[in-house]
Chain A
Amino acid sequence: MNENQPLIEMRNVSKYFGGVTALQDIEFTVYPNEVVGLAGDNGAGKSTLIKIISGSLASDGGEIFFQGKRVHIKSVRDAKNLGIETIYQDLALIDNLDVPANIFLSRELMKSSIGCFVRDEARMAKETRKILHQLGIEVSSVKVAVRNLSGGQRQAVAIGRAIYFEGKLVIMDEPMAALGVEEKAKVLGLIEKLKQAGISVILISHNLEDHFAVCDRIYVLKNGRNVGMKATKETDRGEILSMMIGEKREDSLG
């Protein structure tokens, strides 16, 4: 459906945990400027797949290409260096640290001062206020530990971290699991915004409604295998659902 070069392409990617096959010969492609949904029941392998892309798990077989080049994503840092950002279901914030510390964690802004290479707290705080403002979130002081923030504010911190570093691909693992209706709409709006900004998104959700609201294509996994891929416009919930539970096998890959 898209003529240009894939942003990320996975070929025959497999993952085993001991004798258990978590992923088997997965084919998965995301094009630039595209929102791709990942659907599947619990244990289908969605999380394992995104962990491989985000660098917290290594694959046991297969190849990954990023912008046409073969890559080996061995760590979260490798993924981040490629421009792959992840927003986790539990937001992955460190509660005892303040907002800038969380946003810039592992990528602190540094400066030279009296001959020493030190953290540039002032600039990190300033950038943080800018990011939160962009996301339309008000926080009285960014110097507050994130444990004292509300759910929506915490969400903004996690999202701000992903967008500040101008990622090319943002993975969202159940971003709306714990949100109310209004906040959910905000996140969906944000995904649209990311897309407009030329960033691709991989969206994992339990709720097919979310997929149909924003995704261009939906991949369906079942028992660690691809069981189908559909353009959102050409399918409906019934078809995806039946693929998820395996009533009829539909393979539009390859």
Chain B
Amino acid sequence: MKRFSRSEFYLKFAPILLLVIMCLVMTIGDVSFLSIVNFETLSIQMSVLLVIGIGMTFVILIGAIDLSVGAVVSCSAVATALFMRHLGYVAFPLAILTGSAFGFLNGLIHTRFKIPSFMATLGTGGIALGIAYRACGGTPVDIPGTATVYRSWVTESLLGLPNITIIAISVLFFCYFLERYTRFGRYVYAIGGEERVARLSGIPVDRYKTFAFILCGACAGLGGALLASRIAMGAPKSGMPFLLLAIAAVVVGGTAITGGVGGVFRTLVGALTITILRNGMNVVGVYIYAQQMLVGLVTILAVIATINRLKIPIIK
């Protein structure tokens, strides 16, 4: 018997192949793509997306979606900027807590009231965005020079590796640990695979779904804090692009939008692919709005490529 069926094999390795091909194309197009400077730029650009995408991975694995992450990243970025002036480092745990709270709310609405996740998170996202705007009065909040010390640990580098990337990679390994070694990890796949059966087996499905949303919120919260630290500013719009980008990173990496198949390392591949794509479009000089269109297109193509249409009885 084969370890993988053909579609599983293809889901696992096609994204890596795509990434390699893209790196080759970029190198042929512009030799400086391989330079250390560009590597640093790329890894910094990728880091925030990776953190947010990792959280999104778990929600997609359970067969749900979190449409609130863009707004939660914004809210957390604004909160980070506001708190950092007065509270210093405490701004970071507060930002993660803010994100987790929205995640908890998402999970609660989705499981208790049996609201489809896209609807629950769309609503929560509206609330988060409103709070972000209210908190900053509609204008971006600067992190003043006096508070630079609190954010420098994000912007500095260690042995040539940007700290922000080290943080993102740490989150990746922590979440890989959750995925591979804990009950939570197993149940995420079980729920995404067949929720009804997961329930029959005695898994407290609602509780674990809520955990997935909390983890996604926490990652979005951390992502917002990193974003604000990197650009020394918390803006209520700054997080919005990350909704599409995070979903794109997850599905381009080969995690099925229908749940049950995938993982955080695939999201690393997806985040790299999306980042290189954007980086490349900048180098080539693709108009910014056209870039947005292309990312949207790639996301849809990735979903088409990764789902097994034979197994989906109905589309809602």
Binding site for B on A (CB under 8 A): 55-56, 75-77, 80, 86, 88, 92-97, 101, 105-108, 110, 116-119, 139-141, 143-145, 147-148
Q: Does B35 contact A (CB under 8 A)?
A: no
Q: Given A77-B202, A105-B203, A108-B183, does the pair A144, B193 have CB atoms closer than 8 Å?
A: no
Closest to B261 in A: A96
Given the complex of chains A and B, what is the CA–CA distance between A86 and B199 in angstroms?
A: 13
Inter-subunit contact A119/B183 (CB<8 Å): yes
A-B contact count (CB 8 A): 77
Instruction: Tell me, in angstroms, the Cα distance from A242 to B43 when the chains sit together.
Output: 76
Contact B183 A96 (CB under 8 A): no
Say whether chain B's binding surface is mostly helix, strand, loop, or mixed: helix
B200 contacts A56, C-beta separation under 8 Å: yes
User: In the assembled complex, which residues on chain A have CB atoms less than 8 Å from the CB atom of B5?
Assistant: 145, 147-148
B219 on the A face (CB < 8 A):
no
Interface readout for B198-217 with A: 1 if CB under 8 Å, 0 if not?
11111110000000000000
Complex Cα gap A140–B187 (Å) = 25
The answer to whether the Cβ of B2 comes within 8 Å of any Cβ in the partner chain is: yes
Query: Complex Cα distance A116/B197, Å?
Result: 28
> Known contacts A106-B201, A106-B202, A106-B203; is A96 also within 8 Å of B193 by CB?
yes
In the complex, A118→B200 CA distance in Å?
23
Q: Are B3 and A94 in contact (CB under 8 A)?
A: no
B15 to chain A, nearest CB (A): 18
Judge whether A95 and B194 touch: CB under 8 Å. Answer: yes
Interface pair B194/A76, CB less than 8 Å apart: no
Classify chain B: how many residues form its interface, as a range. Answer: 20 to 34
Asked whether A148 lies within 8 Å of B1 as measured between CB atoms, the reply is yes
* Best-buried of B177, B185, B193, B194 by chain A (most CB within 10 Å): B193
Contact A119 B182 (CB under 8 A): yes
Residue on B with the closest CB to A117? B182
Report B's interface with A, CB cutoff 8 A: 1-3, 5, 8, 177, 181-183, 185-187, 189-190, 192-194, 197-204, 260-261
CB distance from A239 to the nearest CB of B (A): 34
Once the chains bind, are B201 and A97 in contact (CB under 8 Å)?
A: no
CB-based contact A118/B189 at 8 Å? no
- Apart from the given pairs A105-B202, A141-B1, 7 other A-B contacts in the complex at a CB distance below 8 Å: A76-B202, A93-B197, A97-B193, A118-B181, A144-B2, A144-B3, A148-B5
Tell me, in angstroms, the Cα distance from A248 to B40 when the chains sit together. 85
Point out the residues of chain B lying under 8 angstroms from A92, CB to CB: 197, 200-201
Closest A residue to B192 by beta carbon equals: A96
29 intermolecular pairs with C-beta atoms under 8 Å apart: A55-B202, A76-B200, A77-B204, A86-B200, A88-B200, A92-B197, A92-B201, A93-B197, A94-B189, A94-B193, A94-B197, A94-B201, A95-B193, A96-B193, A96-B260, A97-B193, A101-B186, A101-B190, A105-B190, A106-B203, A108-B186, A110-B183, A118-B182, A119-B186, A139-B1, A143-B3, A144-B2, A145-B5, A145-B8
Check A144–B200 contact: CB distance below 8 A: no
Nearest Cβ distance between residue A73 and chain B, in whole angstroms? Answer: 12
Residues of B within 8 A of A86 (CB): 200
Q: How far is the CA of A117 from the CA of B178 in the complex (A)?
A: 11
Give bound CA distance, A101 to B192, whole Å: 14
Contact indicator B181/A94 (Cβ below 8 Å):
no
What separation, in Å, do the CA atoms of A144 and B2 have in the docked complex?
8
CB distance from B3 to the nearest CB of A (A): 7
- Interchain CB contact under 8 A, B3 and A141: yes
Rounded to whole angstroms, the CA-CA distance of A144 and B3 in the bound complex is 6
Name the residue on B nearest A116 (C-beta): B181
Those 7 A-B pairs whose CB atoms lie nearest each other, nearest first: A118-B181, A96-B193, A76-B202, A106-B202, A77-B202, A94-B193, A105-B201
A108–B201 Cα gap in the complex (Å)? 12
* A94 contact from B1, B8, B194, B202, Cβ within 8 A: B194
Q: Give the chain A neighbours of B186 by CB distance below 8 A.
A: 97, 101, 105, 108, 119
Cβ–Cβ < 8 Å partners of B260 in chain A: 96
A96 touches B202 (CB 8 A): no
Most A CB atoms within 10 A — which of B1, B8, B204?
B1
**Please, which residues of chain B bring their CB within 8 A of the CB of A97?**
186, 189-190, 193
With beta carbons under 8 angstroms apart, the residue of B1, B8, B198, B202 that contacts A75 is: B202
CB distance from A160 to the nearest CB of B (A): 14
